[in-house]
Structure 1
Amino acid sequence: MSIVRRLASLNSGPKPGLRRGRRPAVAAAATAGLLALAACGGANNQTATAADTGAPKAGGTLKVSFFPDNPSLSCIDPFQVYWIEHRTIIRNFADSLTDQDPATGKIVPWLAKSWDISSDGLNYTFHLRDGVTFSNGKKVDAQAVADDAAGWIATVKATNGATYGASYIQGLSGATVVDPLTVKLTLSQPNSSFLQATSTTNLAITDPAEYTETPTQRCTGQGVIGSGAFVLDHYTPKVETVLTKRPTPYSWASSLEKNQGSAYLDKVIFNYVAEDSVRTGNLVSGAIDIAWPRNPFTVQDAKLITASGDTVEKRSLPGVAYTQFANTAPGRVLSDPEVRKALYKATDIKTYAATVFGPDYPVVQGVFNSTTPGFKSEASKLAYDPAGAAKILDADGWTLGSDGFRHKDGKELTIEYPVSQFSAGAELLQSQLKKVGINLNLRTLTPAELATYLPNGDYDLTQTYFTRASIGALQYILNPDVANSKALANRSASPDVTAHIKDLFAQALQTTDASQTSKAYADLQDYLIDQGVSFPLFERVQEAGVSSHIHGFAFTSESFLKLNDVWKDNGS
């Protein structure tokens, strides 16, 4: 079995393991990192990819196969969901106030034709497009947006913060209707990432009547109605989700769409298929139109897809890369900054990418994936240098023993690395570190242990990630004040380092000066590597196998599937 096939899933966004919903940042190596070394890579970052020549044809049903549905949070409610597959579906039936250009990261108008941000960064006033309606005919007006904002805040309270959308409305205190097409959203403190948040699926605008339903009811799709080019027909957890073309005209697409009118497709059927090989087989046989895997295709499957005349489209997922974090609590081996410095030099991320994901797989360059607006390459600091690692460890008093491992004061240089049955690539990493005398102890955890090892601090190295086209996403991993796992945030750095990280976040977020935000985030990326806080392992990439009969395929800024421009050349 290919090493790639054994990967679990990474592209989905955070994984289960913490309180329901409070997963954005930590998919606790147990689940985020341990449940899989998944779709990474530094892919082809284009957004309009599949062939789109010829005049678009209306009609037809698009069939898309996903990885199995989320086992712990089966949910299709925009504000609550974190599963990437569900967010990509939501993007096509629920529009947002703004949109984000995948190529530049720029925020552009959508349901809001313009906006104003107060000089103190506390008020965001959106001027809405006229004539927009939800698919049930109700108006998308200022009152609807204000009621949605109230619904978001109420949901956070009802779930005790245990919902993915909570991370997008940090500081939001309420909304005021200025006039029928003008709404003001007010924050209790500046949050420079809030405008980007309004472009996401989690803050998509829906008929506020949905908030009369419970969060659990909304997860089933009950009452969830958007203003998009498609309508949510039904969601059957673990079976399928079906979208149908909006029955009334649609004329308010984002300026980023080529097709400014109604969708070309009549219906889109998303189903869930566990086996990668079955998904690929269904694509090349013509049974489905798009195979959307969790992990990168194996080299063999990619060749099979292209040989059949279909294409493999790919784009890096924005946000925090699949990166490791050390337990730096006193007494742990990685509390020693010299050992952390040596760890960078002992890890061959280039060989890791090529071995686990294929020879053309891109190498991670920093704490964030390369599609993240504000990304800064730290590649020079991540260069493989085993001789340099050995030199650091020698100087730090770690002497090489006859057993091939280093020792100091009678203690072996052992790093506890919890893994699950899905943790591919762990043996390779273990082999790399052994070359410099580090014993990476792979400890396979039971389901019960997966749920407790992180809060208990029973690890030296763990992994997680966060999918969002904003560097501010990292605060939900490393800032203890808002982190989804305070245990991980507090152990990943010393108190002094954590304080400086929080200060850099504050500099970036609590301002309306874009240049100050950019500088703070650039400094943050340098600091995280210089202080040995983040150990990037690989970049995550979303891949899709696309039939030659499909045209207009494109990725959104969050590397989701965008259906406005998609059409089938046979119209069936």
Structure 2
Amino acid sequence: MLKPATRAVAALVACFLGPAAAGQLTYSWPSNVGPLNPHLYAPNQMFAQASVYEPLVKVRGDGTVEPWLAESWSLSEDGRTYDFALRPGVTFSDGAPFDAAAVKANFDAILANRPRHAWLDLARQIEGTEILGPLAFRLVLKAPHDPTLLELALPRPFRFLSPRAMGADGTTAAGIKAPVGTGPWRLVDTQPGVSDTFARNPLYWGTKPAFEQLVVKVIPDPNTRVVALQTGQIDLVYGAAGQIPSEAFIRLRDMAPAFAAAVSPPLATRVLAMNSARFPTDERAVRRAINHAVDKDTLVRTVLDGLEPRADFLFAPSVPYADLGLRPYGFDRAAAARLLDAAGWLPGRDGVRMKDGRRLAVEVDFVGTNAQQRAIAEVLQADLARVGIEVRLIGEEESSILARQKDGRFGLIFGETWGPPYDPASFVSSMRAPSHADYQAQAGLPEKPSLDATIAAALAATDGTERRRLYAELLTTLHEAAIYLPISHAVAIEVHRPSITGVGFGPTINEIPFVAMRPAAR
């Protein structure tokens, strides 16, 4: 039963959104999906790019790689050359053939804009490409690169646009003519600020969607999205837990069978990076004390409504190479106090610790409009005050926080690992990019050069035992340096109306398995 105020909002929402239609799956997103250039980033939305464009290989739920647009592949003994046998009979939605020439044209377009993709090590490692036959394609690397197949499976940039839809010069950096892929959906209409409509691709080579259309309605506000779901304006909420307020998710989950709801296994880690190059978090004792001082169990229960499990390390133990048996810091205010006492930080008259005439004060930087980040920051402020650490909360617009991440103007700053298949290889690779908060957070560590060298060696290692040793060395060093304050393991949530079935979680948070969804039997 909707409350009177909620009914009023629902009526207003209905006026703008309109009802969901038969043969149509209706979803929502905070913004339009963008021009859907497969080789670029924002404002292109990843779930939509992944619905239109496909990779050579895909990642399964267990983290292994399966054939997709490539039926098979082989790797040379030196680990540098991949030969792909492409799937026959595949066409783009405009009728153009998917063949080795199309694959090479896409790789050429991506590499023509190589600096834009420098965050991804594979983009730097590609030496050349060759057409070996109509359906035979060769990728040559400068050196062995262990995560090659995983990085080819990412939602961007290594996905394939019809050559007919590329820019006039055969590149994509300056834009594309139209979003034409080989995937199960094709974008057919965009209404700015209102919706994007996808139609089933009649030329799709694989299992075709059960729905004729996928309509993505633009709903920026999470509470409005809840009302839209309750009143039948949308069929489905799916994505990171912030898609709707956690208390609303729990309420809808408890309304079964009116709604069905589920939480995914852990997909990424919500962390705060601590700046090792800036006072006072340039002291390891301070960073370790902060890790001990935060009552994460209470934070998870009260702020996150128990939807996200507590995190003790940068990566969940389920992430490849991350189950190292390290000892978590654990919530222990007495241990935090002992660390600070031993480091010379003594309580002042107002309770804030002092050393050499300087206050033990840190700043926590967060997106001011993100209610969840603000709530977590306020809990940190209270917990750290109990051990004599003063916290200044800095809430700014997203662009300002991104600028701080890039230039290191932060004390503690929010972030997340990227989840599968990015973790751990692609994520640790990005630690070497100065534009990333992880690089800036680690910049003050004496061992930073050796950390970067270890990352490079792990990515190039061809022996599994050696690769595991290198990851263990890297992750152990970061844990002992206490550069990160892990909070929780981010999850995906889904809530859907009983009019649809087949809703489940994909192997990554950025790819939504719309194809598996179908109308419920009547």
TM norm structure 1: 0.78
Structure 1: distance between partners of 2:317 and 2:189: 35
Structure 2: distance between partners of 1:271 and 1:369: 34
1:412 corresponds to 2:359: yes
User: 1:193: Cα distance to partner?
Assistant: 1.3
1:115 corresponds to 2:70: no
Structure 2: distance between partners of 1:540 and 1:360: 9
Structure 2: distance between partners of 1:547 and 1:200: 30
**Bigger Cα displacement from structure 2, 352-361 vs 208-217:** 208-217
Note the aligned Cα RMSD (angstroms).
2.7
Given the alignment, which residue of 497, 513, 526 partners 2:476? 526
- Is the CA contact (8 Å cut-off) linking 2:119 and 2:429 kept in structure 1? no
Structure 2: distance between partners of 1:516 and 1:234: 51
Given the alignment, which residue of 493, 504, 508 partners 1:543? 493
Q: Aligned with 2:392: secondary structure?
A: strand
1:430 corresponds to 2:381: yes
| Equivalent in the alignment of 2:456 | 506
Q: How many residues align?
A: 488
- Relative distance call for 1:162 and 1:536 in structure 2 (3 A) is same
User: 1:368: Cα distance to partner?
Assistant: 2.5
Structure 2: distance between partners of 1:392 and 1:335: 14
Q: Aligned with 1:263: secondary structure?
A: coil
User: 1:273: Cα distance to partner?
Assistant: 0.5
1:105 corresponds to 2:105: no
Given the alignment, which residue of 265, 270, 284 partners 1:322? 270
| Equivalent in the alignment of 1:231 | 186
Q: Which amino acid aligns with 2:95?
A: G
User: 1:535: Cα distance to partner?
Assistant: 2.0
1:342 corresponds to 2:289: yes
Q: Which amino acid aligns with 2:275?
A: N
CA deviation profile, 1:202-234 (whole Å, cap 9, x unmatched): 12222133332575764xx73221111222223
Q: Which amino acid aligns with 2:179?
A: V
1:192 corresponds to 2:146: yes
- Is the CA contact (8 Å cut-off) linking 1:327 and 1:334 kept in structure 2? yes
CA deviation profile, 1:433-489 (whole Å, cap 9, x unmatched): 11111111113447785465445543322232342523122235421xx3433x761
User: 1:566: Cα distance to partner?
Assistant: 1.3
- Is the CA contact (8 Å cut-off) linking 2:223 and 2:245 kept in structure 1? no
- Is the CA contact (8 Å cut-off) linking 2:238 and 2:495 kept in structure 1? yes
Matches within 5 A, 1:139-288: 139-156=97-114, 161-162=115-116, 169-202=123-156, 203-212=158-167, 215=172, 218=175, 222-248=177-203, 250-252=204-206, 261-288=207-234
Structure 2: distance between partners of 1:344 and 1:558: 29
| Equivalent in the alignment of 1:92 | 51
CA deviation profile, 1:354-375 (whole Å, cap 9, x unmatched): 2211034311232125664444
**Which structure 1 segments of 5+ residues have no match?**
1-58, 253-260
| Equivalent in the alignment of 1:297 | 245
| Equivalent in the alignment of 1:60 | 23
- Relative distance call for 1:182 and 1:215 in structure 2 (3 A) is closer
- Is the CA contact (8 Å cut-off) linking 2:344 and 2:355 kept in structure 1? yes
- Relative distance call for 1:440 and 1:243 in structure 2 (3 A) is same
Q: Aligned with 2:55: secondary structure?
A: coil
Q: Aligned with 1:381: secondary structure?
A: coil
| Equivalent in the alignment of 1:23 | none
- Relative distance call for 1:165 and 1:337 in structure 2 (3 A) is closer
User: 1:431: Cα distance to partner?
Assistant: 0.4
1:472 corresponds to 2:425: yes
CA deviation profile, 1:318-372 (whole Å, cap 9, x unmatched): 45x222222222x621111111111111122222222211034311232125664
Q: Which amino acid aligns with 1:471?
A: P
| Equivalent in the alignment of 1:312 | 261
- Relative distance call for 1:135 and 1:68 in structure 2 (3 A) is closer
**Bigger Cα displacement from structure 2, 85-94 vs 445-454:** 445-454
Structure 2: distance between partners of 1:498 and 1:148: 36
Q: Aligned with 1:244: secondary structure?
A: strand
- Is the CA contact (8 Å cut-off) linking 1:97 and 1:204 kept in structure 2? yes
Percent identical among aligned pairs is: 23
Structure 1: distance between partners of 2:443 and 2:52: 41
Structure 2: distance between partners of 1:545 and 1:346: 35
| Equivalent in the alignment of 1:41 | none
- Is the CA contact (8 Å cut-off) linking 1:318 and 1:371 kept in structure 2? no
Structure 2: distance between partners of 1:120 and 1:345: 46
User: 1:68: Cα distance to partner?
Assistant: 3.2
- Relative distance call for 1:372 and 1:225 in structure 2 (3 A) is farther
- Is the CA contact (8 Å cut-off) linking 2:81 and 2:139 kept in structure 1? yes
CA deviation profile, 1:362-401 (whole Å, cap 9, x unmatched): 1123212566444437784131111101011111111112
Q: Aligned with 1:233: secondary structure?
A: strand
Structure 2: distance between partners of 1:231 and 1:124: 30
Structure 1: distance between partners of 2:202 and 2:460: 43
Structure 2: distance between partners of 1:144 and 1:165: 25
Q: Which has the larger radius of gyration?
A: 2
Q: Aligned with 1:76: secondary structure?
A: coil
CA deviation profile, 1:390-434 (whole Å, cap 9, x unmatched): 011111111112211111111111112234423422111100111
- Relative distance call for 1:86 and 1:240 in structure 2 (3 A) is same
CA deviation profile, 1:497-556 (whole Å, cap 9, x unmatched): 212221221222112233433332233222211112222123222222112221222322
- Relative distance call for 1:189 and 1:405 in structure 2 (3 A) is same
Structure 2: distance between partners of 1:351 and 1:377: 26
TM norm structure 2: 0.85
Structure 2: distance between partners of 1:335 and 1:455: 18
- Is the CA contact (8 Å cut-off) linking 2:263 and 2:494 kept in structure 1? yes
User: Which structure ranks higher in relative contact order (CA pairs < 8 Å, sequence separation ≥ 6)?
Assistant: 1
